[in-house]
Structures are given as C-alpha cells and as structure tokens.
Amino acid sequence: MIAATIGTPVLWGVFFVLILIMLVIDLGVFHRHEHEIKSREAAIWTVVWVVLSLGFNLWIYLEDGREPALEFLTGYLIEKALSIDNIFVFIVIFAYFKVPPRYHHRVLFWGILGALVMRGLFIALGTVLISRFEWILYLFGAFLVYTGIKIVWNRGTEVHPEDNPVVGFFERFVPLTRRYHGKHFLVREGGRLLATPLLLVLVVVEATDILFAVDSIPAIFGVTRDPFIVFTSNIFAILGLRALYFLLADLMDRFDYLPYGLGLVLAFIGAKMLVHPWIEVPIEASLGAVVVLLGGSVVVSILFDRRRRRDGPPPGPGEGGGDPPDLPGSKA
C-alpha cells in the first residue's frame, strides 16, 4: 500500500500558491514583452528556481524530517537530469521549425504549463494504480531497466520532427498557415481561423513531454511512493526547465556522455524497484548513486568533449527564424 503522505492541506496549499505567484511574476512581469533570452537572464532564473526548490526541500526537512527531504532531493535530481534530454529535443524542434528566438520562451512557457497539468494527471493515475495493484511497481521497474539499457545502447535520444506522427495528424486535420504571425498561435485570414506554425511547435513540445513523463514519473515512484513528494519534486524540476534551456542550449554538445549516466540511473532505480521485496535500498544509497552516476557522466563529458572538436556545436536557440519548413497541410 501507499505510505502515508506528508502532503497536508496546508503544504499543498502553500505549494500551489508559491507556484502560481512565480508563474505570474515570470510571464506577467519579467516576460511581458517577447524577447530573446540571453545567458545572463537565463542564469539568474536558473538560480532562482534552484534556490526555491532547495528552500522547499529545507522546509520539508524541518516539517517532516530527514527521509522525506532526501526523497524529494533524489527525485528532484533525477527529473532535473532527465530535463537535459528534453533540452536537446527542444533544440532540434526549434531548429527544424525555424522558430524565431524571441518566441522560444513563449512556446516553452505554455508547453511547460500544459506539462504541469499532464504530470499531475499521470502522478494521480500512478498513485491510484499502485495503491490498488502494488504489483504494477514491478512493471515500472522492468520498464525503467529496459529504458535505461536502451538509452545506454543508443547513446541518448534521437528525434526526427519530420517523422513525428503528431505533426502529420496536425497538418492533416488542422488548417495551418505557412508563416509565423508574431507571437500568435491562431490568426484569422479570409474569414477563417487558422493555426500558425507556432501552435504546431507547441503541440509537438507537449507531445514530447508526455513521452518523457513515461520515463521520469515511474523513476520517482521508485524513490518514494508519497504522491506529494513525487509531484512537488517533479514540478519544481520542470518549472526550471525553461531557464535551463536558455542557459545550456549552446553548451549541449559538451554533454556527450550524459546519456550513459541517465541510462544507468534509470536502470538502477528500476532494479531497486524489482528487488524491493527482498533488498531494501536506503534512500541515502539511492541519492549517492544518482549523484555519482550523473556527476561522473558530466565530468567525463567535459574532460572528453569529442563531439565538440569533431562536429562543432548543435544548432542553438540563436539559429531559429525565417519561414518554417514546407508543411504539406499548411494550405491557408
């Protein structure tokens, strides 16, 4: 059965109020006007989200003790590391659709806002399933082991927007313009309401996040079964993803070995779930393994940056702009 949750109504209320205030400040104050996010601004917001996350982690420690705080921190680190994979995919999507840099933040903001809702639904569903059918943890564990091995074997995630079935479906059933119309997702032309390529990009980003959630949420359930810790650690990591994107997009080619670390972390968490009835892995050991595997892969990536010397950096956020690719379904 699911362990008792530390998420009292007060804690849930404080969490949602904090998130709402930060989202209003983010979009309504600092990003009212569309502009290209520079490294300095991205670094400031990255620090803000990390400080808020660790501050919330400290509050959990003071209110509920050491073990829930370590569970939150472990889940947060796992989701934060998996976000690096999201960033790589976002880079490819924005480059393929030639999204102007000043609109990257808008797409990511609404994309991540939608991701918050979807993650909440997934976590609620996972909590109900585990409470009713505890054996499903073994399925989660086996899936994570398989996914981890696959990531290590393939050295990361490959993405091909032109082959994405979501793109084909959208182009076929949604009237679409050929050009961007500023920050607008919808425009009216000749009396018809049409989607712009920016809305298509947003839909692709949302669909991509759903695929990543299939990996990350079971991984955090492998650390803790407390839905409050699963949800809050996941959401804090996701909310810092936009700033992290603008901070690291130009540096992604330096993390050549990070996929190995991510894959090994998922495999470790999956194995932990599979052996749980016989071997109890302390949360301290889980946190240590996550830190060593991820930190080691980052250090090795920096020391042996082969891809940067061989191929040069991948397309960064400054290379978007212009007309999107020729879309078969984009007849206005």
- What amino acid occupies position 288? G
With cut-offs at 50, 70 and 90, classify the pLDDT of residue 5.
low
Task: Compute the average pLDDT of residues 267-274.
Answer: 90
Phi/psi for 92 (5° steps) reads: -65, -45
CA-to-CA distance for 165 and 160, rounded, in angstroms?
A: 10
State the DSSP H helix or E strand holding residue 4, giving kind and residue range, or none if neither. Answer: none
> What's the confidence (pLDDT) of residue 329?
47
| Averaged pLDDT, 77-101 | 84
The count of C-alpha atoms lying within 13 angstroms of the C-alpha of 20, restricted to the half-sphere facing its C-beta, is: 6
Could you tell me what percent of the chain has a pLDDT over 70?
A: 82
Which pLDDT score, from 0 to 100, does residue 292 have? 92
The yes-or-no verdict on residue 2 having pLDDT over 50 is no
Please say if the pLDDT value at position 150 is more than 90: no
Average pLDDT, whole number, for the chain?
Answer: 81
Q: Give me the mean pLDDT over the 141-164 stretch.
A: 77
**Strand runs labelled E in 199-272:** none
The torsion of the CA quartet 209, 211, 217, 220, rounded to 10 degrees, works out to -90
Rounded mean pLDDT, 168-176 = 85
Flag the least confident range among 30-34, 63-67, 104-108: 30-34
pLDDT of residue 332: 40
* Average pLDDT of span 28-50: 75
pLDDT for residue 7 is more than 80:
no
pLDDT digits (tens, 9 = 90+) for 156-167: 556 666 677 888
251 near 317, Cβ under 8 Å?
no
pLDDT band, residue 57 (cuts 50/70/90): very high
- Residues 302-329, mean pLDDT to the nearest whole number: 58
CB 269 within 8 A of CB 287: no
What is the Cα–Cα distance from 164 to 152, expressed in whole angstroms?
Answer: 23
Query: What's the pLDDT at 74?
Result: 93
Say which amino acid occupies 63.
E
Two structure tokens written together for 153: 């074997």
| pLDDT at residue 1, rounded to an integer | 39
